[in-house]
Amino acid sequence: MPKIHVSTTVNGDTVEFLCETQETVLDVLRNTLGLTGTKEGCGTGDCGACSVLVDGRLVCGCLMLGVEAEGKEIVTVEGIGSPDRLHPVQQKFLEDAALQCGFCTPGFIVAAKALLDSNPEPTETEIRYWLAGNLCRCTGYDKIVRAVQDAALEMKGQQA
């Protein structure tokens, strides 16, 4: 199958890759670029484990073709936080025990960061509806919602 050349930006780095036309951004991230932090739970846009940011927008990596990444800026879970400091969302997930198996966690971290970037003071209902595209089978969401609430408080404190 002929492959197509794509140039894009991933976590701030300029990246070039070749991909088959049916390969998704998720396939490319995981299999071609070795960024396996982004997970596949369904491949059909129903679980959010593959959540990434594309030009700042929250997207299911499994619903976007690799060739569509041309010229875009992609941020994955590996690009959130910095080597010396976790992002507040990551830190609160740890402190609040908002993960059990952790498989859904990268998707939730990316989705929660996107929420707090656009809405720094979400209500519990807003958090629950924003995260409704991310499935977690382990936690019952209670501690995830609390971690996002705590991260929002923390980020507000940092700004003040």
Partner 1 sequence: MTYEPKTLKVVGTRPIRHDGADKVTGRANYGADFKLPGMLWGKVLRSPHAHARIRAIDVSKAKALPGVKAVITGGDMPMPDGGVTQAGESAINTQHLAKNLMARDKVLYDGHPVAAVAAISESIAREALDLIEVDYEILPHVIDVEEAMKPDAPLLHDDLFTQNVEPKPEKPSNVAQRIFVGKGDMEKGFSEADIVIERHFTTKPVHQGYIEPQACVANFAEDGQAVVWCSSQGQFLIRDLCVNMLGMEASDLKVIPAEIGGGFGGKTTVYLEPLALVLSHKAGRPVKMTMSRGEVFRSTGPTSGCAIRAKIGALRDGTIVAAEMDLKFQAGAFPGSPVGAAVMFATAPYDIPNLSITGWDVCVNVPKIHAYRAPGAPNGAFAFESVIDELARELNVDPIDLRAKNSVAEGSKAPYGPTHGPLGGLECLSAAKNHPHYKANLGPNQGRGVASGFWINIGGQSAATVVVNRDGTIALVEGCPDIGGTRASLAMMCAEVLGIEAEKVRPSVVDTTAIAFNDVTGGSRVTFATGKAVVEATEDAVRQMRERAAKMWDIEPDSVLWRDGAAHETGGEGRSLTIAQIASKAAKTGGQIMGHASINAAGAGPSLTTHMCDVEVDRETGRVTILRYTTVQDAGKAVHPSYVEGQMQGGAAQGIGWALNEEYIHDEQGRLLNAGFLDYRMPVASDLPMIDAVSGEVPNPNHPFGVRGVGEAPIVPPLAAISNAIYDATGVRMRDLPFSPPRVLAALEEAERAKG
Options 9, 100, 128, 154; binder of ligand FES; rule CB under 6 A: 100
* Range 40-59, binding ligand FES (CB under 6 A): 40-43, 45-50
Q: Taking CB under 6 A as the rule, does residue 104 contact ligand FES? A: yes
- Interface characters, 106-135, with ligand FES (x: CB under 6 A): ------------------------------
The CA–CA distances, whole Å, from 37 to 33, 112, 116, 158 equal 11, 16, 21, 27
Least Cβ distance, residue 41 to ligand FES (angstroms): 4
Burial per residue of 127-148, b for 16 or more beta-carbon CB atoms within 10 angstroms, e otherwise: beebbeebbbeebebebbbbbb
Q: DSSP code of 135?
A: -
Residues 39 and 102: beta-carbon distance below 8 Å: no
What is the number of residues in the chain?
Answer: 160
Options 28, 139, 143, 145; binder of ligand FES; rule CB under 6 A: 139
Name the residues that contact partner 1, by CB under 8 A.
1, 20, 22, 30-31, 35-44, 46-47, 49, 76-78, 80-81, 86, 90, 93-97, 99-106, 109, 125, 127-129, 131-146
Residues 76 and 52: beta-carbon distance below 8 Å: yes
Say what the alpha-carbon torsion angle 85, 86, 91, 93 is, to the nearest 10 degrees: -170
Options 57, 101, 121, 156; binder of ligand FES; rule CB under 6 A: 101
Nearer to partner 1, 73 or 128 (CB): 128
